[in-house]
Amino acid sequence: MKIFLNGKLVDEKDAVVSVFDHGLLYGDGVFEGTRVYNGRVAFLDEHMERLLDSAKVINLNVGMTKEELKKATVETCKANGIKNGYLRHVVTRGVGTLGLNPYQCKKAQVIIIAADIQLYPAELYETGMKIITAGTIRNMAEAVNPRVKSLNYLNNIMAKIEAINAGVMECLMLNAQGFIAEASGDNVFAIKGNKLMTPPTWCGALEGVTRDKVMQLARELGMEVSETVMTRYELWTADEVFLTGTAAEVIAVVEIDRRPIGTGKPGPAAKKLIKAYRDFVNNNGTPIE
């Protein structure tokens, strides 16, 4: 496997970073997860824009423009013969001293990995997922804003541990006020009648690329779409609930906290959106020629 590391494609065994990199020492950096479908990178502009925005918020100079990042991404896919897969962009603060001071780090490290994707089992899209509400709350926007896709994922990992320990694969995360933020690695939506609702990002959600596309597709399907402040009441009483994310795509949730949602089976709206989203990503994107 060839890895893009600081402007060059290198063999996997040579793709090593220093133990003094602040990405390792402090989780000081940002990342992205992007999909490749049928030889095309899905939502490449959107992912690179979010990577650069995340970097801007943590005052990290990536040292590459969006166009340079896009070109490097396509080259990395090409070098690895990737037709379908998952990309990981990582930008770390770079090599510094053992102190916190990020300004001691001379240069950001830019890493692009093009690999296979680990998906949820296919039958989960037929049966739907069971989730719980985690006790770990989502970080407050005034701490590290959840809109920043930073290398500090312990908040999400703490919640994920609760989910796995409870025998499920995902969990809801609430914010400090008790409102729904998102799942540990996905955004969350609720459907009531013709209304599709998802929490606003200020409730503690990442502005998911999949979330944005699904909102657009739902509008095109004639649904009334809104960003709505929600508690668990809205989810427990919803007709349907589903999660969205680059890896998960759109996946129905049929049980939350051991309570069945709607009929307890994936509903018609989730099924329509799963299909519409797959149709879109399989037929659009930046070609790897």
Residue 149 annotated in active site: yes
206 binds ligand PMP, rule: CB under 6 A: yes
The smaller minimum CB distance to ligand PMP, of residues 105 and 256, is found at 256
d(CA 30, CA 149): 6
159 binds ligand PMP, rule: CB under 6 A: no
CB of 232 to ligand PMP, least distance (A): 18
Stretch that binds ligand PMP, among 81-89, 120-128, 240-248, 256-264 (CB under 6 A): 240-248
246 binds ligand PMP, rule: CB under 6 A: yes
The smaller minimum CB distance to ligand PMP, of residues 56 and 107, is found at 56
199 binds ligand PMP, rule: CB under 6 A: no
Stretch that binds ligand PMP, among 21-29, 86-94, 182-190, 253-261 (CB under 6 A): 182-190
Helix %, strand %, coil % of the chain (to 5) = 30, 30, 40
The smaller minimum CB distance to ligand PMP, of residues 25 and 42, is found at 42
User: Within a 10 A sphere around the Cβ of 18, how many other Cβ atoms?
Assistant: 14
Its sign, for the CA torsion 281, 73, 86, 213, is: negative
Stretch that binds ligand PMP, among 4-12, 204-212, 260-268, 270-278 (CB under 6 A): 204-212
* Strand bridging mode 187-192 / 195-198: antiparallel
155 binds ligand PMP, rule: CB under 6 A: no
Please say whether the beta carbons of 219 and 194 come within 8 A.
Answer: no
Reference 246, options 198, 284, 206, 211; nearest CA is 211
- For 93-179, list the strands marked E by DSSP: 109-115, 129-133, 170-174
150 binds ligand PMP, rule: CB under 6 A: no
The smaller minimum CB distance to ligand PMP, of residues 44 and 95, is found at 44
Please say whether the beta carbons of 90 and 29 come within 8 A.
Answer: yes
Site size for ligand PMP (CB under 6 A): 14
Please say whether the beta carbons of 255 and 132 come within 8 A.
Answer: no
- In which element (H, E) is residue 90 found? strand 85-92
Q: Which of 96, 185, 204, 262 binds ligand PMP (CB under 6 A)?
A: 185
Taking CB under 6 A as the criterion, which residues in 33-52 touch ligand PMP? 33
Q: Which of 149, 213, 265, 275 is catalytic?
A: 149
Q: Which of 21, 28, 170, 186 binds ligand PMP (CB under 6 A)?
A: 186
211 binds ligand PMP, rule: CB under 6 A: yes
Close Cβ partners of 39 (under 8 Å, ≥ 6 residues apart): 83, 287, 288
Residue 63 tokens, joined:
């040292």
Binding residues for ligand PMP, rule: CB under 6 A, are: 33, 156, 182, 185-187, 206, 208-211, 244-246
Catalytic residues: 149
